[in-house]
Structures are given as C-alpha cells and as structure tokens.
Structure 1
Amino acid sequence: MRTNLIRHIRATAALFLLSGSLAFAQDGVSSVSEIDKAYHNWYNLDAMLDKVPGVSVNRAYNELLASKQPKKKVVVAVIDSGTDINHEELQGRIWVNKNEIAGNGIDDDNNGYVDDVHGWGFLGNAAGENIEFETYEYVRMLRKLAPKYNTVTSAQGLSEAEQKEYNTYLTTRKNYEKELTERLKTKENLDAFAEVLEHCENLVTKHLGKDTYTVQELKAISTQNQDLARAKGWLVQKYNQGFTPESFKAYKDHIDKYVNYHLNPEFDPRSEILADNPEDINDTMYGNSDVIGPRADHGTPVSGIIAGIRGNGIGIDGIAEHAEIMALRAVPSGDERDKDIALAIRYAVDNGAHIINMSFGKDFSPQKHFVDEAVKYAESKNVLLVHAAGNDAKNIDNTDNFPTKQLQDGTRASTWLEVGATSKNLDKTFVGDFSNYGKDNVDIFAPGVDLVLLAPGNKYDKMDGTSFASPVVSGVAALVWSYYPELTAAELKDVLLQSSTKYPKLKVYYPTEEKGKKTTKFSTLSATGGVVNAYDALKLAEKVVKEKSL
C-alpha cells in the first residue's frame, strides 16, 4: 500500500519542484518525549471526557474493565512488511507457536512450516535470503503481456479472451508510462539540485578548511567573494526551508527505488530468491521463519497499536492488553503478491488467529481468486478480517482497491471490515486528506492521522495512513473479544459497527490533496458514518451476550 510516507513524499516533490525547498519527516526517534506530545496516545482518548475524538480506550479500561477479568487471549495476525518482535513495547505480546521448537530445522508440528515460532515470512527462502523490494503489480502484468501484445494495434481479430488480455495490457502500459514519466522527471530535478548542492557545499567547505560544517558555521561566514556569498545564501535559504542533507538523500534514494525497482520491468527478485510459481497456489515450498525481515518499519507500528504494552511509562499504549501478535511477513516495498496474501490468511486461520489485520493494498489483483478463497476460508472459521481502505483519496465504491470484501462469485465476505482514517481535529479536516472512502465499501473510520507509534529498534515516530487506522479497529475488536468470546466474528463486526460514534451534523472536506474544494457530511463517507468506539462497543457486547444467553 502506498502509505502516508509516499503521500508526504508526493507533497514534498511538489514543494521541491515549485519552490526548490525540501522537508521530510524525521527518522524514528528514540523516545516519545522527542515527538510532539500533543499527539501522544490521542487515539485512546474520549471525545466527551478528553475533548479529543479518539476511540475511548482509556475510558473503557477505567470505567468498564477495572473489575473484570478477560476470558481469553486474542491472537491477531498482522500480515505486513515485517514486525520488530524485539521492540521493548511488544515484549510478552508476540504469539508463540508452542508446538514448534525454535531453531532445530524441523517442522515439529507438521503444519508445513519449519521453525515458525512467531509466524512466517512469505518473502524469503530457507537460506535466509529475503525480498525487500518488488515491482508494482501492473508492471508485472505488463511484463507478462507485452511480448504478446506490444505489436498489436487493434483488438480486431482477437478472441474474446485475448481482447480482455489486450485491454489489460493497454491499461497497465498506460499506468506504467504515466508513472515512469513522473518519476524520471522528479529524478532529473533531484539530480540537478544535487549538482548545485555539491557545488555550493564545496565552496563552503573549502573556505572553512574542513569537510563538514554546521548551519551556525555556515551563517557566520562573512566574505567579499561573490561566488561564496551566493553559495552561502542559497544554502541558508534551503536550511531555513527545512532542508537537511540527510533528508535530501533519503528522498533521492526513494525516487531511485521507484526507477530501479518498483517501475523496472527487468527487476524480478522473486525468480532468484524464491524460485516458485506465483500463479500456482499449491507451490508452497518457500519462505522462512524470519518475521522481522529487512523492513519492519510498517508492521511494527501496526502491531504496537493493537497490542503495545499499556501503562509502562516507556512509550505508547496499545489498545488490547490481552492480545498477541502473530507476525506474517508478506508485503514488500512495492506490491504484494496475491498468492502470498492468500497463503498468509490461510496460515493465520490454521494456526489459531482470531483476527487478521491487513494494512496493504494495490490497484490490480490478477490472482484475486486465490485471495477470495482464503477470505471465504477465514469467514468459515469465524475469523474477523480488518483491512485498510487505502491512501489515494479516492471513492473505492468506484475505484478498485485490492484486496476487497467483494468476491468474484458475487458475494461479500460477512466478517470483513474496511477502515478509513480520521484526525484529532473535529472540524472540516476530521477525515485524513489521503483517506479512501465509500458509502458502500468503507464500513467505519478510526484514528489514522498524526499518531505517535512504534518504530524498529525501540524507537518511535509520528505517522499517518489508513494502515494505522485499520489496527485501531483490530485492537478494539481484540479488546472486545477478549472479554466477550461468546460473540461470533459476524456478531463482533456488527457490535463494532452499531456502537460506532456518529457525527451526523459534521461537515468535512472530501479527502483530497487540495483542501477546501468541497465539503460533505462525514456520515456520507462510510456505511456507518461512524468512528469505532471501544467503550460503547464493550457495553453493546455485554448486552448482546446477555440476550444470547436467554
């Protein structure tokens, strides 16, 4: 899923091209105290008591659960990029496969996965090699179809099946050419910027007689040399605009990844590292027990929202104290494969997960039937699936965003929740300007803007995205289910939807990068018109369980 990081990078690119300035979110910092305290744990707060439109988790613990004991541990499978299971805030919260002996190289429980103590990595091999980067799905589809259709100029004479393939080829080629052109233009501008930067820095370092300098030293330069003065002025302007060499390098590296990996039809790490057939769901002899992987920067914050330790005074407070995270690594930097997602869902179900959080998505799904069958399997086994709606500011009633609860057989998954993102501002900016929406296909909203979350290596960072709204709902679901396990997954879903906090009179901007263009009622952007609420969900759950027992 193109998460909030990419949204910020797109905004940064626009800012750079228009004004020559650059600004970046900092890398994860070591403590919450270094991050704006105004956003710390706001998703746990209550709209009435705290005047912050969180999901009332703290109120639920204080007023409803203080004298109650949970009835079961809830296992939440996090299908994601990888999770730092060693993070200080996740200790004791990671699922353990008690039937597997770690590190002995044997599939002790005969589930088909060797040494899967905390989950499984579907992006690696037995030798410990892992896929970090991947192409986008439409690039893979284009790579497959181009040899057959790149010389075809008309659908005339093609069979019905070939016409469908040809239309897919045209669509993927259009997407590819459009995005590649944009990225190459950005790369060209960045390269030009880098050339000017190097020239100016060389003049400054030569004048100072040292290889590095501080901004203070730069500003203190006094010179009659016009070239040096211009270089100083240019650099000072950039630093005042938020530029740092580190942030510029990070942005340049990111654009290079697009060109070298995501949009490169020749790039095919799957064939080298996994050597499987991604179109054969029965070809499962790949993967490894590494659930952290080379990029745990997405699964770690997701897991922390759901089950991070509460009240330890270290960092953030997760939502569900009695939840465990089953870590399933299946989402690379780039688009995930349908086969990996389908197998990850099946792994979660077969190994005892009660909830599956899916904070990823893409525009094309060539093996959607793999995922659909896995979704139906999860549904049949009473598993709740929670999916992030996406960060493209689109109405997904009209735009594809996979995976989806709408199945190819015409039915809908009954235990699926689709989640959009809200901010802590109960005004026109309440809905994240990036969040997808849809009266039919988005079920509910949850906090997903300006959240202080876990980052790998015992660090923390401020993030946004529906990727983080989804685990808020997963966390609330796990909290409710741990006290009311009598509920079925479908009943739990209904409880969360019916108890959501409504804001019937609230007008908000339509999600878009261009704020202020058009407003709508918040109630029109999802099926419920509400935000998940832990306090009210627990109260309704108790009522439903009592009625069931009569």
Structure 2
Amino acid sequence: MNRLYISLLLLNTIWFFSCSDKKQLQSVEFTYFSNTKPDDNNLNNWILEDIKLDSVPGISLDRAINDELITPPKNPIIIAVIDTEIDINHESLKRNIWQNKKEIPGNGKDDDANGYIDDINGWNFIGNAKGENIIYPNNESLRIIRAYKKDSLNGLVNKELYKKALKKYEEAKESAQSDMDYVNFLTDTYPKSKKALLKFFPKEDYTTDQLDSLYDIYKEKDEELAKLIYYMSDYIKYDLSKEWIDDLRKTVEGDLNKSLNPDYFDRDILGDNPDDINDISYGTPIVNGHIGELYHGTEVASIIAAQTDSLKGVCENCLIMPVSISSNGNEHDKDIALGIKYAVDNGAKVINMSFGKELSLHKQWVLDAIKYAEDNNVLIVSSAGNSRLNLSEITDYYPNDNLNDETEVSNNYILVGATTNTIDPDLLAYFSNYGQHDVDVFAPGHLIKAAIPNNKYKEDSGTSLSSAVVSGIAGIIFSQYPDLSAAQVKRIIMNSGVEYNIDVSVPSKDNPKRLLPFKQLSKSGKIVNVYNALLMAKSLSDDN
C-alpha cells in the first residue's frame, strides 16, 4: 500500500480549562501537509517522535524534551504494573524498580503493617511461599460454571450468565483443540520440510524467493515435495521456528489440561478462598520467579520506564511497582481488586492494567477497587483488548468502568486502543478493539521495541503496549504538575491528543475493508500527545 501522506489535514485542538473546569473558547490548531514518509531505519523508537517534525504519529516526547517542557521532578512517580511477574534485574529496568523502604528485607515480618510480609519490590498474588506459581489459571467461564453449581453461592451467578459461560467454555475448548490440531500439523511437517530441502540446500541457506521458485518447478511433478517446500516458505515468512512450535504446544497443552480442565483447581497452590475478598493472607513477595515463562509484565514495564541505550521508555523518572496477578489465562477478579488496593495503599500514582477478559464473576469487587483508587486520587490506565471488537456493541469486556447503560463509575479510568506508525487507512492497529462509548483514546501499539526477560529485547504489538505508553505519559504529567488530580490528568490526556481526520480500516465480519472516520472510534477521537498534554497541564495548573 502507498504510504505517502499527501495533503493531510491534522487538526490538533487543545482546550484549556478554567479553575471550575469549564471549557473556554480557546484553541490551537495547525494544518500539516507532507508528501514524505517516515524513514524506516529510524523507527526503532517511533512512538517518541512527532507528527510535525518526523512525519510519524508518535507521542512527541522527544520534542517535549528538546523544548524543555520536562524538568527533573522532586519525587519520582510510582507506576504500579498489575500484570505478570517482571524481570526486576533487567538492564533496562533495574534502576527504575520501586523499593518499599518501610520494609526490612528477609526478616519474615510485616514491618510496615500493610498486610504483606517482606514486600520489598511489590507483591505476587498468584504465587506461594514454596516458589510455586499459577502459570495456567482456570478460564473465567469455568469459574462461573462452578460458582453456579455451588449451593453456598446461590444468587451470585444468574441463569443468563451461566448459559453465557457454558457457551464461552465450549467455544474455548473447541478453539484449544483446533490449536492443538495445528500444533500437531506443524510438529509433523516442519522437520519433514527441513529434511526435504537439504537435497537442494545442504547449508539450509534458502530464501523465500528461492523456495517460491522451487515450488513452481515441483508443484505439478511432485505434489508432496511441493507441499513441503510451500510449508517452509510460510515458516520463514511468519518466523515459525521449532522453538516457537514447541512453545505453542506447551501453551495449548496448558489450556487443555489446566485452564479448561474442570478437575484442575488453580487456587489450590495458594490456599485462599477465592470467593472471599477479605481473605488476603496469600501470595508471595517474589515478583520475578517465573520470568522464563511469563514475559508480558517486563514488556509493559519497559515501555513505561526502560532506560538504556537500547531502549528508552516514556517516563525516565518513574518507578515501576510490580503487582503480579496475571499468567497464561484469565485473571481472578479478587486478585485484580486486591492488586489495585495494594498499589493505592503503597503509594502508586498511576496503575497500569494490560489485560482483559470476556466474562467476570466478581465484577463488583473490581468496580469497588476502581472507585477506591479514585477516592485516593490514583489514575488507572487499562488496555482496550486485541480482539478487533467494537466495545460499544460488545458489553462483555472486563475490567471496564463503563456500565451497560454507558455510565462510568469513576473519573479516573482510561481505556486505550492501539495505533500504528502510518497515517493511512491502516492507522488503527488491525487487532485493536475500539468503541465510541468505551475506548477513551488511542496510543501507539504496533511494532514497538520492548524488553523481555534476561536482558533481551523484541518487537511486539498490542493494546497492552498502548496502555503502557499512556501510563508513562500520565507519570510525566504528575511528575511535572503534582497538584493535578487523577480526573484532571485523564481529561488532559484525552483532550490534548492529535485528531487525524482520515478514514481508517475497521474490522468487520461482513465487510473486511470497511472504512470509518478515525475520530469516531473512541470518546476523544484522538491519539495521545505528551507535548500538548504538558502545555495543557501547565495552563490548568497555573489556573489552580
């Protein structure tokens, strides 16, 4: 697709707020025309770049730094990453990991009386004192089915939710079995393809173009050989190595044998009552014990605060507080709620939650926790999800502060979708959820370099990374203007973004090429921009 930006009108509107938060008729606009495209060699940290200066729809962080809109803060902002375990010793993160200075390491006592013993760097809600961790938690549909059948929980799950859970459970099992069939196919054909090609390429130094040419030669005279050649071409194109196939098998087996297994109870290793929100005597202070299997939290944390020559996160002066509740499956509502409360009680100013699910057994616990954060002036930033759904039509997405009647329970919760680095119909990331009533704003989330455990890095995509970008921006705003409230920072982030007045490709079952105005895909209609946000924050802070 041609990615030239020709006669593109960008409308960037900044609304300034008075002391009473009423909008005034003062705005700033610019029109930008360009017929150039971004340099692919300079897209390593494209999220930090500026649309006007670099022709890239980033967040303009480099521009904000160069124009001295950011100064070293008196106190670093703490951002809780409620996610998987985190590699707290990663070269890009170890200088920015929160330390609980009120706790004495390793003495087996709750020195700060916060209910958690030896929580030096955070808390892991899905591990135990033996070093065990829930790697494959039960699917939420299975939890709901169990709850419906337990006499002690009559009334918690109504029949409608139970039927929905049954349907989701069967769909999940069918999908997992289909995935296993695919894994078995790959496991069978991958070594056969490699062996067949040794005849033509003893050094295995073939390219996809060479394989395509070889396929054309043999597709009629040797159908079986042609198939193996074709398969290997796809393996290369989609980077499907033996290691990748083995990892996929492990994941699918975990789904079938644990997450979807009615005889497997994931909470057995914790010893808590998952249906009692007041039972908090579980978990472990070890927040990095299984990073070989759980890398997601490290990725998210690095987008927020990584600081090495290899990778620059969004908020240089932010500290990461690891709060582990996630693994390879659906999070427990109890862990989500207690994780939020832990983060609030221990000084986090921003909470990043990059996860989601289609059902929720104890959603009221989570809503109460969100309101608890609001009462304590803490901002929550959450990912919109990667299922290509219009959340205005799909009411089953959790966690979310938006009730079915489109009423929000709080003013401190931001739901973030993902965008790419190109200003054309592909601006909306193909995987991102969207929705004018649920998604608040968009942020870069496609092909972004991030850290993974053991001092490694990878390029990845997802609304999880978009959420991390916004959390980093929120951290910068709070660090520069600590007098602002969480609700004010939310409004600043939403209203200071850049509006791209173009039509973008929006996923649809009936019409895969459907185009809609980008500004109709979220409440704000914008992509976040830290440069504009800091200008707006200064104006609002001065008024206060």
> Is the TM-score greater than 0.5?
yes
Aligned counterpart in structure 2 of residue 48 of structure 1, from 25, 36, 52: 52
Q: Equivalent pairs: percent with the same residue?
A: 38
Identify the range of structure 1 (368-377 vs 172-181) with the bigger mean alpha-carbon deviation: 172-181
Contact 1:473 1:532 in 2 (8 A): yes
Residue in structure 2 matched with residue 138 of structure 1 by the alignment: 141
Listed as ranges, the matches of 1:96-107 within 5 Å are 96-107=99-110
Q: Which position in structure 2 is the counterpart of 1:359?
A: 354
**Paired residue for 1:322, among 313, 317, 339?**
317
**After superposition, what is the alpha-carbon deviation per residue over 1:78-115, rounded to whole angstroms, capped at 9, x for unaligned?**
00011111110112201110011112211111111111
Q: Provide the secondary structure at the position in 2 that maps to 1:88.
A: coil
More deviation, 180-189/518-527: 180-189
Contact 2:77 2:479 in 1 (8 A): yes
How big is each residue's C-alpha offset from its partner over 1:3-56, in whole Å with a ceiling of 9 and x where there is no partner?
A: xxxxxxxxxxxxxxxxxxxxxxxxxxxxxxxxx855411100000001100000
- 1:86-485 aligned within 5 A: 86-145=89-148, 165-197=158-190, 214-216=203-205, 234-241=227-234, 242=236, 243-271=240-268, 273-294=269-290, 295-309=293-307, 312-313=308-309, 315-399=310-394, 400-406=396-402, 412-485=409-482
CA distance in 2 between counterparts of 1:197 and 1:303 reads 35
CA contact (8 A) 1:307 1:325 kept: yes
Q: What amino acid sits opposite 2:83 in the alignment?
A: D
Aligned counterparts of 1:356 and 1:189: Cα–Cα separation in 2: 37
* Residues 374-432 of structure 1: per-residue CA shift (max 9 Å, x gap): 11111000000111111111111221211111369965211111111000011100011
Structure 2 vs 1, CA of residues 49 and 198 (structure 1 numbering), >3 Å: closer, same or farther?
closer
Q: Aligned-residue CA RMSD in angstroms?
A: 2.8
Structure-2 separation of matches of 1:352 and 1:176: 38
Structure 1 runs not aligned, ≥5 long: 1-35, 149-159, 221-228
**More displaced, 175-184 or 477-486?**
175-184
- Report if the CA contact (8 A) 1:203-1:231 is conserved: no
Give the counterpart letter for 2:296 in structure 1.
H
Residue correspondences, number: 484
Post-superposition Cα deviations, 1:168-226, rounded to whole Å, max 9, x if no partner, equal 22211112212312322342343245345566778899x99xxxx85249999xxxxxx
Does the Cα contact within 8 Å between 1:424 and 1:447 map onto a contact in 2? yes
CA contact 2:197–2:229 (8 Å) conserved in 1: no
Q: TM-score, normalised by structure 2?
A: 0.83
- The equivalent of 1:7 in structure 2 is none
- Distance in 1, Cα, partners of 2:109 & 2:388: 46
Provide the rounded CA distance (Å) in 1 between the counterparts of 2:83 and 2:190.
Answer: 37
Distance 1:464 1:217, change over 3 A: closer
Farther off after superposition, 365-374 or 291-300: 291-300
1:529 aligned partner: 525
CA apart distance, 1:296 = 3.8
Please state how far the C-alpha of 1:546 moved relative to its aligned partner: 0.9
Once residues 426 and 197 of structure 1 are traced to their aligned partners in structure 2, the CA distance between those partners, rounded to angstroms, is: 38
CA distance in 2: counterparts of 1:61 and 1:485, whole angstroms: 18
TM-score, structure 1 normalization: 0.82
State the AA in 1 paired with 2:50: D
**Quick one: distance in 2 between partners of 1:487 and 1:71?**
15
- Change beyond 3 A, Cα 1:174–1:217: closer
- The amino acid across from 1:136 in the alignment is N
Task: Give the letter for the 2:494 counterpart.
Answer: L
SS in 1 for 2:169: helix
Q: What is the CA-CA distance between 1:301 and the residue it aligns to?
A: 1.2
Farther-moved stretch of structure 1 (194-203 vs 346-355) = 194-203
Mean CA deviation greater in 50-59 or 98-107: 98-107
Deviation of 1:247 after TM superposition, in Å, equals: 2.8
d(CA) in 1 for partners of 2:224, 2:522? 52
What do residues 257-299 of structure 1 show as CA deviations (whole Å, max 9, x unaligned)?
322233222221212x101111101111100011123244111
1:58 is displaced (CA, Å) by 0.7
Equivalent of 1:74 in 60, 63, 77: 77
- Equivalent AA in structure 2 for residue 85 of structure 1: I
Aligned to 2:61: 57
SS in structure 2 at match of 1:64: coil
